[in-house]
Amino acid sequence: MLNSIEPKQLWSNFSALNEVPRPSKKEERVIAFIVQFGKSLGLPTIRDEVGNVIIKKPASAGMEKRATVCLQSHLDMVHQKNGDTKFNFDQQGIDMFVEGDWVKARGTTLGADNGIGVASIMSILESKTIAHPPLEALFTIDEETGMTGALNLKGGLLESKYMLNLDTEDDKELTIGCAGGVDVTATGKYSNESVAAGSKGYRISVKGLTGGHSGMEIHLGRGNANKLMNRILSQATEKFGVQICTIDGGSLRNAIPRESVADISVDAHHEKSFMEFINHKNSILKAEYKTTDPNLVLHAEPIATPKTALNKNFQGQLVRALYACPCGIYRMSPDIDRLVQTSNNLARVLVKEGSYTIQCLTRSSVDSEKMDLANAIKSCFELCGASVGFAGSYPGWTPKPDSSIVKLMSDLYTELYKEQAHVNACHAGLECGILGTNYPAMQMISFGPNIRGAHSPDECVQISSVQKYWSYLLEALKRIPS
């Protein structure tokens, strides 16, 4: 379906890539796919100890003395689907379609993040006509859930002077810095108590939120399903004395949660008032989030009355801890206009069968502030008896606006498009900061086409923007100095 769209080779490679299941931490199939691709071209192909793949290609004729360039993208993608979408990510290729100027997927993430970058590099590696300096293609693993590929890439494998990271989502932006992050996980056990006699069971659902990337879109004020569910549970507990039986909200740390479901019990005498309460709160939330989350729905439906619920003391502690947990923007940068400096995403809340897990992703471009916020969250959940741990910490990428690669790419953008690019830092986690720890002399810049709704089933990529980005990338390769 995409093979008739220009640039044809890029879209063909993207289609082939999207036939390969590639969730984070389960990349064996896509690693094998890329290794075979490199070997089929007769190019030196290396798989390192953790699964990163490096493919090297000599310069095209006349460019042998140019500086070596590393083209870098990550192989994994976020696997997210709508609640009513039947799809097996472990077995099925992404079901894509074209709508106007956009490529989309039916009810799932598209994988344009970072599949367009991977497909671009594949197309350059196999081309016999594209002019380029000596190339090192670096395909990393597990970018979306820990950046372990970048973290474990050893020094000495790459010789490049410059790195073009093809992993941003706005074709007017040149990114030269990013936030670091740390996973904060609270776990624990609790005792159940019997549901009160004469109670009725209900399933409360918060659905239809916009969601999105917890870094790139955290500043847009979109609803967080876990925070909204906790708000409803807190108020329902205070008003009706509901007993919470289970909570299941959100999924991945780097996705703003779109859905949450909780099973509760309420005294049968309060059934009518409880449903009126839910309908009233539905109207309130719709009004509050009509701009950012127009499809938000709060709903309650009867279920078989559960037999057990959280004990009253723990229920109160948990609800208060979730209420107090920081979520969204914590601090804006005082130095860079409109840059979120520090934030937290309350990504996952699972409370079931005597155990609970709460997962957050805390980001900041200032490492000390990142850890300060992480410690605040740790303290919050320790107050309800949780065991809290930190994992997957990775550094930010310090901007170097005066580097020669930034000047080259910025001047080229102005030349081609008669306007200045937006040279910025972003609040997402990019691999450049991590890779720079072992390759400190390598100059780096990140860019890409317009991708919207990354990390959500609304993800889409703009066809005309891919064409613009592709032309810019190819021209940049021609301009790389000696």
- Alpha helix (H) residue ranges in 252-383: 271-288, 312-324, 367-382
Question: Which residue type, as a one-letter code, is found at position 173?
Answer: E
Query: Could you give the CA distance from residue 339 to residue 203 in angstroms, rounded to a whole number?
Result: 39
Query: Could you give the CA distance from residue 10 to residue 428 in angstroms, rounded to a whole number?
Result: 25
Return the residue matching tokens 């089929």: 40
Q: Tell me 334's DSSP state.
A: S
Residue 385 to residues 33, 40, 320: CA-CA distances in angstroms? 46, 55, 12
Outline where DSSP puts E strands in 403-468: 422-426, 443-446, 451-452, 460-462
Phi, psi angle pair for 68, to nearest 5°: -70, 140
Query: Could you give the CA distance from residue 173 to residue 409 in angstroms, rounded to a whole number?
Result: 11
Phi, psi angle pair for 256, to nearest 5°: -65, 120
Residue 449 to residues 74, 168, 172, 178, 480: CA-CA distances in angstroms? 15, 7, 8, 18, 21
Query: Could you give the CA distance from residue 263 to residue 300 in angstroms, rounded to a whole number?
Result: 9
Catalytic residue among 76, 173, 217, 459: 76
Query: Could you give the CA distance from residue 366 to residue 343 in angstroms, rounded to a whole number?
Result: 11
Give the β-pairing of 460-462 and 451-452.
antiparallel
- Give yes or no: 143 in active site: yes
- Alpha helix (H) residue ranges in 127-224: 148-151
Around Cβ 257, how many Cβ atoms within 10 Å?
A: 28
Query: Could you give the CA distance from residue 393 to residue 181 in angstroms, rounded to a whole number?
Result: 6
Q: Which residues contact 234 (CB under 8 A, 6 or more apart)?
A: 319, 320, 323
Q: Name the burial class of residue 197, with classes exposed (0-12), middle (13-18) and buried (19+) by CB atoms within 10 angstroms of its CB.
A: exposed
Residue 5 to residues 13, 14, 36, 453: CA-CA distances in angstroms? 12, 12, 25, 22
- Give yes or no: 369 in active site: no
Around Cβ 221, how many Cβ atoms within 10 Å?
A: 12
Catalytic residue among 143, 259, 263, 459: 143
Tell me which residues are annotated as active site: 76, 143
